Structure 1
Amino acid sequence: MGSLVRCVVRSLLRGQPGPRRFGSAPPELREQTLVLVKPDAVQRRLVGSVIQRFERRGFKLVAMKLLQVWEGYNVVRSTRAMVGDTNSAAAAAGTIRGDFSMHVSRNVVHASDSLETAQREIGFWFQRDELVTWESGDSAYTYGP
């Protein structure tokens, strides 16, 4: 698990807010999406594997309950590609569902299918003050200067 995730989890366990850093990233770098790690993934202890895949893509975890909201350039489309087809039988190998899902009703994660849906779903699960604003140490490497 990434160091940010460990820090956020420790902060949540202590009842303190997670790390906050304020920056002025361009709007296209601040697109957000909602990813729900479903109970079958939690039971199978796949949460860390799912989180690591998003961190390796350079996305930032900005809120967590047993839910995750990811932020980054083109994050909605990229997430749908990473997650794979809703029907696990059709999901490509290398996608989260292709690697871990057994059946369409047990397809491990939910991911927003559009920017509009993501905004609506994020608003349903999180209050605005629950979203963490921070700058990744490797954002210049990931997105350029």
Structure 2
Amino acid sequence: MSTRCFTMLKPGILNRRLVGEVISRLEKKGLKLIGLKLMNISTELAQEHYAEHKGKPFYDPLVDYITSGPVVAMVWQGDDCVTLVRKLAGSTKPSDAQPGTIRGDFCVHTSNNVIHASDSDESAVREINLFFKPEELIDWEDQAAIWY
């Protein structure tokens, strides 16, 4: 069943000029990009996005990092999309992330994590609605989908 996943490439990916590499990995898996924008996140949006972490020691540094530069906000669609994107992203803790995953290849410090991916279908809906208006999502017909 086709589902959606919110994914955000954080400032470290943009600063290192790795946006195309990460998007390519998600496309090569067979996922369909239906929303994409380069944006600066306000402190208020960052706080709302990471609300479940409020009060934790990493909360303020996380908000500071995510608002320190532009991010690429994306919505991907595909069968079991959240699970697939999270496997491609790798473990949140870089030392646990397998080589070949995005975090395993491009991240050393958890505090400067390079990618965010929704952790459930419910979170995906909430996060997509925070960052995208319905008219900004384009569910196009994927002629290549039969090959995946």
Other-structure match for 2:133: 127
Structure 2 residue aligned with 1:100: 106
Q: Secondary structure at the match of 1:92?
A: coil
Distance between the aligned counterparts of 1:133 and 1:111, measured in 2? Answer: 19
Residues matched between the structures, number? 114
- CA distance in 1 between counterparts of 2:74 and 2:15 reads 17
SS at match of 1:113: coil
Matched residue, 2:27: 55
Aligned to 2:65: none
More strand by share: 2
Aligned with 2:13 (options 41, 44, 47): 41
Using the alignment, how far apart are the partners of 2:12 and 2:137 within structure 1? 25
TM superposition shift of 1:123? 0.4
**What is the identity percentage for the equivalent residue pairs of Structure 1 and Structure 2?**
44
CA positional deviation for 1:137: 2.2
Structure 2 portions without partners, runs of 5+: 39-72
SS at match of 1:134: coil
- Report the TM-score when normalising by structure 1: 0.77
SS in 2 for 1:80: helix
The whole-number CA distance in structure 1 between the counterparts of 2:122 and 2:34 is 18
Q: Does 1:76 align with 2:82?
A: yes
SS at match of 1:102: coil
SS of the residue corresponding to residue 62 of structure 1 reads strand
Q: Where does residue 136 of structure 1 map in the other structure? A: 142
